[in-house]
Amino acid sequence: MNRSTLRAAVPPLVALVVLLALWEGAVRLLEVPRWLVPPPSAIGAVGAHEASALLGGAITTGRSALVGFGLSAVLGVLVAVLLASSRMVERALYPYTLFLQTVPIVAIAPLLVLWFGPGPRAVAVSSFIVSLFPVIANTLTGLRSVDPSLRDMFRLYGARRLATLWKLELPAAMPHLFTGLRIASGLSVIGAIVGEFVAGFAEGSAGLGILVLGAYRQLRTDLLFAAVLAASVLGLVLFGAVSLTGARLLRRWHPSAQGT
Amino acid sequence: MNRSTLRAAVPPLVALVVLLALWEGAVRLLEVPRWLVPPPSAIGAVGAHEASALLGGAITTGRSALVGFGLSAVLGVLVAVLLASSRMVERALYPYTLFLQTVPIVAIAPLLVLWFGPGPRAVAVSSFIVSLFPVIANTLTGLRSVDPSLRDMFRLYGARRLATLWKLELPAAMPHLFTGLRIASGLSVIGAIVGEFVAGFAEGSAGLGILVLGAYRQLRTDLLFAAVLAASVLGLVLFGAVSLTGARLLRRWHPSAQGT
Amino acid sequence: MKVEGLRRTFPGNISVLAGLDLDVAPGSFVALLGPSGCGKSTLLRLVAGLDRAEAGHVTFTPTLERTPGERAPIAYVFQDAHLLPWRSVLDNAALPLELTGVPKAERQAAARAVLEQVGLGDATERYPAELSGGMRMRASLARALVTHPRLLLLDEPFAALDELTRGRLDDQLRALWRKLGMTVLFVTHSISEAAYLAERAVVLSRRPARVVLDRTLELPTERTAALRTEAAFAREARLLNEALEQGEHW
Amino acid sequence: MKVEGLRRTFPGNISVLAGLDLDVAPGSFVALLGPSGCGKSTLLRLVAGLDRAEAGHVTFTPTLERTPGERAPIAYVFQDAHLLPWRSVLDNAALPLELTGVPKAERQAAARAVLEQVGLGDATERYPAELSGGMRMRASLARALVTHPRLLLLDEPFAALDELTRGRLDDQLRALWRKLGMTVLFVTHSISEAAYLAERAVVLSRRPARVVLDRTLELPTERTAALRTEAAFAREARLLNEALEQGEHW
Amino acid sequence: SRQKEESQPGSQTATAASASTPKPNTPAKVKLALNWVPEPEFGGFYAARESGAFARQGLDVEILGGGAGAPVQQMVATGQAEFGISGADEILTARARGLDVIPLFAVYQTSPHAIMAHASRGAKNIADVLSSGTVALEPGLSYVAYLKKKYGFDKVKVVPYDGGVARFVADKNYAQQCFVTAEPLAAKRQGATPAVFLVADEGFNPYLAVVITRRQYWKEQPERVKAFVAAVRDGWRTYLDNPGPTNAVMAKLNTTMDAETFAAAAEAQRPLIDTEATRSQGLGTMSRKRWEQLAQQLVDLGTIEQAPAPDDYLVPEFVSARD
Ligand SMILES: Nc1ncnc2c1ncn2[C@@H]1O[C@H](COP(=O)(O)OP(=O)(O)OP(=O)(O)O)[C@@H](O)[C@H]1O
Ligand SMILES: Nc1ncnc2c1ncn2[C@@H]1O[C@H](COP(=O)(O)OP(=O)(O)OP(=O)(O)O)[C@@H](O)[C@H]1O
Ligand SMILES: [Mg+2]
Ligand SMILES: [Mg+2]
């Protein structure tokens, strides 16, 4: 945590405080019932009270989301590389990768549970399925956007397919890839939560999805919001980690990371 | 539909046939029970039998998804433009746009229904929320990736903010933007379906989400798959329209669209 | 235009300008020479206001604020062409006019005329990726000339051109200058081009750039190809060459 | 190397090469001149195998297949620098060696040496975005020279350089050629550079490019700055100039 | 004699079973898949584990908590879990689709599915509720189909049930489906006064929280299945007698529900579980006649094409021949 990282944290924190103040004020002024939209103070209170459940839930869900995200990152890039190998392959298969994204998880949950058992494994797979496509789509665009003259240069020097991939295409696709990963980071959390709705409950470690479901049923809106916020924090942490890594890797050469 | 469009349709169709054949064969050979994974033939049969329900569902869901997608496209670009206006604003607000993506729709569905009433409006909003973030993230990267020398050139010629946006930043961001739209196209369909799970049923025109839910409840796996496939086709149609538009716009100048 | 004590240091303690002074009278044609990497482009960027100096400043008398109806007070031909890849050559050349609100028909006519001048009359509908290197630079030149600027900054505009085309454009540029009387800052590596075109030549030393030679050329205003073989021309060229060599070893 | 009946037409019915023949003996140094947009870069790309001709072919005797242990048979200095923006200058220059599997220490030493030759010894750790235009071209040149190729294709490598640096690199290139004896195809717009460097000069006409002049220069093998003032040199230069003018009006 | 065993009170059956089967040294590991998160609905199962009833039967039971739409029947049918919890109507539907699952033990004798409306509306029964206002129902549920067939939904505005009670609390003319042990309590906690009407009183009363297994498993391990059922019966008896300790255990797993709600729900469900029939037949008893009736109702509703033959899925060991 050096100085500039700290300084970078100031604007979002200021925004957060402003947001919370507005929210609290609006809820109080308009007398919105607490079970509909609880004020941040109430969410904070229930969050403190249920801190251990929320923390445990965040850890359980976070673990699944992390596995799902990791799988998406690795397999997404691999699939994109495969699709980029020829226009023919891309045309034939790219549309079907979209299938994964348009399948409601609930519809394939039985299969997931049957194949991976109920609990974290199936949840991680759900997270993976939900977050895969953005990685594929962005990496593919990135691979396709490589400056053709640089490609020529590699061809001229007899670069093998793998070297071209490794030393030209992937570095050139990095800015796109990181955008994909940023999107995937948020989706992996939602994928894990939705997965937990259906498949997730291993003894002793109820994830945030289970908390959300239960709190919803019980109309404990404050706890519901606290759990949702915990999920968002999870997403933000992943997102932040991805963004920082990206900024660090791209800083010296890509305009999108300049001035960060 | 000219010749090259037709030719472009060949590889995915071939892939489709191969896929279906493999599936049918596998299900038959391994004697997978029909209630678990029905063979394509069974799905086709039920699809034909329930054609009008599926078509009606696809139209209902498709309409909501289209509205959600349209909102995402427009507002996503607007938000990205706002975020790109300064690093400060980006740092302060970008993380919170992620919030939209990590909120399980089910958790805010009651709010949606209260605000928009049950039915297509709430469903479209759900579709919008789910598909917004990829548009923001990709457009933002695109806007940030503009060649700084071109920016200089615009500054030199005294271009106003809006002209720079319109004539430099947005065209330069197009390849990124279209990747975002491609991702959003699939997500908007899934967002509509999930929205329908919770909020979507206006008498007389049950969307695909309702069909999925009902089929799932009744363990009519063949109908479930047929409905899911219909959803995928919806997604593919949107995806195809986005891709074609992108290819057409970028063809003459961007490597990612060359050779399409 | 007055450049005073300009200082610019890049990260990594790369001092490029360490207090540069330069005084350019309105309407003069100044050639800027110096070794590769000495800071010529940096200076041009600072003059154009595209970069910020740590110290010193550039002042213009009369001011270079855009007057109503003017197309653009400054034009800049960058060292690389910097064309918009999604626009045809015509639309690229018309861009500065578009940005100042000139109606479509008018700006296209203007762009077409200037493209004709730089020899791209038959390539107006092509896209930058479909041009040769020299054609791209010419398109970029056309984009600068289309505005009739009061201050014209040129960063090696003709380096990628064959000598015939180059000579032709040299003549056109000088004719334009004589007609419009704008201030021209012209970076070039060609000593003979500098001598042929400019009224005054400034030779810079290696990084950090200092002025080695600042000389008003003693050559006639009317210049033709014949000038290149004259003794006066050869003397000026020799002087410039000596200054360059001297600047190398500073 | 034998070029036979090469034909290349770009979309929009832009005929660039309409049956070009050229015969280049191994180990010769050929300068290629011609008006901007005539097809020089296109020809080089075809020779390098980076583009496909509609008709005709390029054959090499002896073949240009990579022999085991060889670094790279062909090297190409593109008209634009084409550096990898995410690599330092050193790593850019070392790239061709990296691609042929030369160990890290060895390739970095080789790259460092050649960067020193082109005057970038103190910029090895910088990134392309932090270089001046001329420095980028020199880095690109270093990347080509590092491979000790058998065929060296250069597309206006020195256009962005000041005359002193250019002269120095001219001499180095020629020394390298005499030492290694590779075949060199050198595109330039500078008539004097062509005459100074090459054994043979080929002047092309406007698009579609045809050979206007193909001449073995009658100049000594040993060349120094003094040569530029000799009568033989002036004669060759005049011949080239005439051919260029002739090609313009074809 | 089987019949006799069945007719005995649950606790005695358990003792008899444990006496007749020699306790194996290593307990058999089996899984029980729930179709929802730990709530009083499953109290007896946790009680069986906590009180050692499973252990005494030589069983080591892992209870798999489910979520919304947990595919319990599929898991049981494919052997992912040996036992699962489902509803009678769902079991019949699943069988019609080819899943060979069989019911063993029915916790809820009376279905807890109900319609709740605000008491202020003064509705006397479901027919009243459905005559005006808005009702939230979940498409695809068989009892919803039943109500629709019986009353028609012409006069009421039907909106989708979203799993919560937020809109109910907000709107006095809003009615919704519910589980008597869940939503009414949540609504009350927010200050609403719901009137609750059981769907069972309308003539549609499928068993709920029914323990199922795969027929194959029953064939291979009849003793283990019987032992499991006996332990479950024991557990439920324990839970009904004193839900407190088990509730405390479940509250640790399901932190969204507080202690009072646990206690209130346990109390609310007692009359649905402990009925006249169970007092004579033992907890969890099922009647062949009710299964047949339900099957016929489902056929009438069009949910399934034809009623399965009772002998195909009803195992005499677990079904009472009496009503
Ligand atoms: N992709 C393309 N599409 C259409 N036309 C092209 C394309 N590439 C090159 N051309 C055209 O081919 C012609 C020759 O181009 P080439 O780059 O070979 O010229 P050159 O001789 O290298 O010129 P210069 O000296 O300006 O670099 C030009 O007129 C150019 O416009
Ligand atoms: N962004 C940057 N970061 C670090 N160093 C830079 C940066 N931009 C330029 N430089 C350095 O500043 C010096 C001057 O650059 P400049 O582009 O002004 O040179 P130049 O005189 O135009 O050279 P050339 O004739 O080669 O174009 C060079 O040494 C270059 O490496
Ligand atoms: Mg420069
Ligand atoms: Mg060229």
Cβ of residue C40 lying under 6 Å from some atom of ligand 2: yes
Q: Is the pLDDT of residue D203 over 60?
A: yes
- Determine contact, residues B219/E73, Cβ cutoff 8 Å: yes
- Rounded mean pLDDT, E263-276: 91
Q: Are residues B167 and B47 in the same domain?
A: yes
Backbone angles phi, psi at E150, to 5 degrees: -75, -45
Summarised one tens digit per residue, pLDDT across range D142-190 is 999 998 888 999 998 888 888 888 888 888 888 888 888 889 999 998 8
Per the omega criterion (within 30 degrees of 0), is the bond before B118 cis?
A: no
Neighbours of A6 (CB within 10 A): 9
Q: Are residues A245 and A155 in the same domain?
A: yes
Q: Is the pLDDT of residue E231 over 90?
A: yes
Percent of chain B with pLDDT over 90: 36
> Of how many residues is chain C composed?
250
Q: Is the pLDDT of residue A90 over 70?
A: yes
Q: What is the pLDDT along chain C (250 residues), one digit of tens a residue?
A: 788 888 898 888 888 888 888 888 888 999 999 888 888 999 999 998 888 888 888 887 767 666 666 667 889 998 888 899 999 999 999 999 999 888 999 999 999 999 998 889 888 999 998 898 889 989 999 999 998 888 999 998 888 888 888 888 888 888 888 888 889 999 998 888 888 889 999 999 888 888 888 888 888 888 887 888 888 888 888 888 888 888 777 6
E-chain CB neighbours of A207 within 8 Å are none
H helix intervals, chain B: 3-29, 40-49, 51-84, 87-102, 105-116, 120-144, 148-156, 161-164, 170-199, 208-217, 221-250
- Residue D162 CA, closest ligand 2 atom number: 25
Would you give the DSSP letter of residue E22? P
Residue of A64, A112, A183 to mutate, interface with B, max B Cβ within 10 Å: A183
Q: Which chains touch C (3 or more CB pairs under 8 A)?
A: B, D
Q: Are residues A17 and A140 in the same domain?
A: no
Report the pLDDT value the prediction gives residue A1, as an integer from 0 to 100: 46
Q: Are residues B10 and B65 in the same domain?
A: no
Backbone angles phi, psi at E137, to 5 degrees: -135, 150
D166 and chain C: CB distance < 8 Å anywhere?
yes
CA dist., res. E224 & res. E211, Å (int): 14
State the virtual CA torsion across E16, E20, E23, E27 in degrees, nearest 10.
-70
Residue A147, min C-alpha distance to chain D (Å): 9
- Residue D34 CA, closest ligand 1 atom number: 21
Cβ of residue D89 lying under 6 Å from some atom of ligand 2: no
Burial class (CB within 10 angstroms; exposed 0-12, middle 13-18, buried 19+) of B91: buried
Summarised one tens digit per residue, pLDDT across range A25-35 is 988 888 877 77
Report the pLDDT value the prediction gives residue D67, as an integer from 0 to 100: 67
Question: Domain with A171 in it: what CATH number?
Answer: 1.10.3720.10
Please indicate whether, in this complex, the C-beta atoms of E167 and B34 are within 8 angstroms of each other: no
CA dist., res. A211 & res. E255, Å (int): 7
Q: Are residues A130 and A23 in the same domain?
A: no
- Rounded mean pLDDT, B108-125: 80
State the virtual CA torsion across B138, B141, B146, B148 in degrees, nearest 10.
180
Which residue lies with its CA nearest to atom 31 of ligand 2? D131
Residue E323, min C-alpha distance to chain A (Å): 35
Q: Is the pLDDT of residue E57 over 60?
A: yes
Cβ of residue D39 lying under 6 Å from some atom of ligand 1: yes
Report the pLDDT value the prediction gives residue E20, as an integer from 0 to 100: 46
CA dist., res. B256 & res. B113, Å (int): 41
Cβ of residue C42 lying under 6 Å from some atom of ligand 2: yes
Please indicate whether, in this complex, the C-beta atoms of C191 and D163 are within 8 angstroms of each other: yes
Cβ of residue C36 lying under 6 Å from some atom of ligand 2: yes
CA distances from E21 to A155, E3, E221 (A): 77, 18, 13
- Partners of residue E195 on adjacent β-strands: E117
Summarised one tens digit per residue, pLDDT across range D32-88 is 998 888 889 999 999 988 888 888 888 877 676 666 666 678 899 988 888 999 999
Please indicate whether, in this complex, the C-beta atoms of E160 and B219 are within 8 angstroms of each other: no
**Torsion sign over Cα D230, D232, D238, D240:** negative
- H or E element, residue E62: strand E59-64
- Residue C129 CA, closest ligand 1 atom number: 1
H helix intervals, chain D: 40-48, 89-99, 104-117, 133-145, 163-180, 191-197, 231-248
- Which residues are CB-neighbours of C106 under 8 A, at least 6 positions away? C97
Q: Are residues A199 and A92 in the same domain?
A: yes
- H or E element, residue A81: helix A51-84
Report the pLDDT value the prediction gives residue D68, as an integer from 0 to 100: 66
- Determine contact, residues E17/E225, Cβ cutoff 8 Å: no
Q: Are residues A98 and A191 in the same domain?
A: yes
- Rounded mean pLDDT, E220-248: 94
- Number of folded domains in chain A? 2
Q: Is the pLDDT of residue E66 over 70?
A: yes
Report the pLDDT value the prediction gives residue E12, as an integer from 0 to 100: 42
Summarised one tens digit per residue, pLDDT across range B32-84 is 888 888 899 999 999 999 898 899 999 999 999 999 999 999 999 999 999 98
Interface of E with B in 196-235 (CB under 8 A): none
CA dist., res. D30 & res. C113, Å (int): 38
Please indicate whether, in this complex, the C-beta atoms of C132 and D41 are within 8 angstroms of each other: yes
**Full domain range(s) for residue B166:** 34-257
> Of how many residues is chain E composed?
323
3-state per-residue secondary structure call for chain C? CEEEEEEEEECCCEEEEEEEEEECCCCCEEEEECCCCCCHHHHHHHHHCCCCCCEEEEECCCCCCCCCCCCCCEEEECCCCCCCCCCCHHHHHHHHHHHCCCCHHHHHHHHHHHHHHCCCCCCCCCCHHHCCHHHHHHHHHHHHHCCCCCEEEEECCCCCCCHHHHHHHHHHHHHHHHHHCCEEEEECCCHHHHHHHCCEEEEECCCCECEEEEEECCCCCCCCHHHHHCHHHHHHHHHHHHHHHHHHCC
Q: Which chains touch B (3 or more CB pairs under 8 A)?
A: A, C, E
- Which residues are CB-neighbours of C107 under 8 A, at least 6 positions away? C94, C97, C98, C146
Q: Are residues A10 and A76 in the same domain?
A: no
- Determine contact, residues D106/D146, Cβ cutoff 8 Å: no
Sheet strands side by side (includes D151-155):
D74-77, D151-155, D183-187, D29-33, D200-204, D211-216
Summarised one tens digit per residue, pLDDT across range E277-307 is 888 888 999 999 999 999 999 999 888 888 9
Q: How far is CA D201 from the centre of its chain?
A: 13
Residue B204, min C-alpha distance to chain A (Å): 23
Return the half-sphere exposure (C-beta side, CA atoms, 13 A cut-off) of residue E98.
12
Summarised one tens digit per residue, pLDDT across range E137-188 is 876 788 988 998 898 888 888 887 777 787 888 889 999 999 888 888 888 8
Q: β-strand D55-59 against D2-10: which pairing, if any?
A: antiparallel
C-chain CB neighbours of D241 within 8 Å are 163
Interface of C with D in 203-232 (CB under 8 A): none
Q: Are residues A59 and A170 in the same domain?
A: yes
Q: Are residues A250 and A134 in the same domain?
A: yes
- Determine contact, residues A251/A260, Cβ cutoff 8 Å: yes
For D244, nearest residue in chain C (alpha carbons): C164
Q: Which chains touch A (3 or more CB pairs under 8 A)?
A: B, D, E
3-state per-residue secondary structure call for D80-91? CCCCCCCCCHHH
Q: Are residues B190 and B215 in the same domain?
A: yes
- Report the first-to-last Cα separation within chain C, whole angstroms: 27
- Determine contact, residues A132/A100, Cβ cutoff 8 Å: yes
Q: Is the pLDDT of residue B8 over 90?
A: no
Cβ of residue D216 lying under 6 Å from some atom of ligand 2: no
Residue A150, min C-alpha distance to chain D (Å): 6
Report the pLDDT value the prediction gives residue E16, as an integer from 0 to 100: 42
Helix E244-253, helix E259-273: angle, nearest 10: 120
Q: β-strand D2-10 against D14-23: which pairing, if any?
A: antiparallel
> Of how many residues is chain A composed?
260
Q: Are residues A176 and A252 in the same domain?
A: yes
Q: Please compute Rg for chain E using Cα positions.
A: 20
Summarised one tens digit per residue, pLDDT across range B132-154 is 999 999 999 999 889 888 999 99
E78 and chain A: CB distance < 8 Å anywhere?
yes
In C, what residues contact B, Cβ < 8 A?
Answer: 45, 48-50, 66, 72, 74-76, 78, 80, 82, 84-86, 95-96, 98-100, 127-129, 147
Determine the distance separating the centroid of ligand 4 and the alpha carbon of C29, expressed in angstroms: 29
D-chain CB neighbours of A175 within 8 Å are none
- ipTM entry: 0.85
- H or E element, residue A235: helix A221-250
Determine the distance separating the centroid of ligand 1 and the alpha carbon of D36, expressed in angstroms: 8
CA dist., res. D209 & res. B46, Å (int): 66
Sheet strands side by side (includes D14-23):
D14-23, D2-10, D55-59
Q: How far is CA B25 from the centre of its chain?
A: 31
D-chain CB neighbours of A177 within 8 Å are none
In A, what residues contact E, Cβ < 8 A?
Answer: 33, 35-36, 50, 53, 106, 109-110, 113-114, 117-119, 196-204, 206, 209-211, 213-221, 223
Judged by 3 or more CB pairs under 8 A, whether E touches D is no
Please indicate whether, in this complex, the C-beta atoms of E159 and B219 are within 8 angstroms of each other: no
Which residue lies with its CA nearest to atom 26 of ligand 2? D134
Mean pLDDT, chain B, whole residue set: 85
Residue A202, min C-alpha distance to chain B (Å): 21
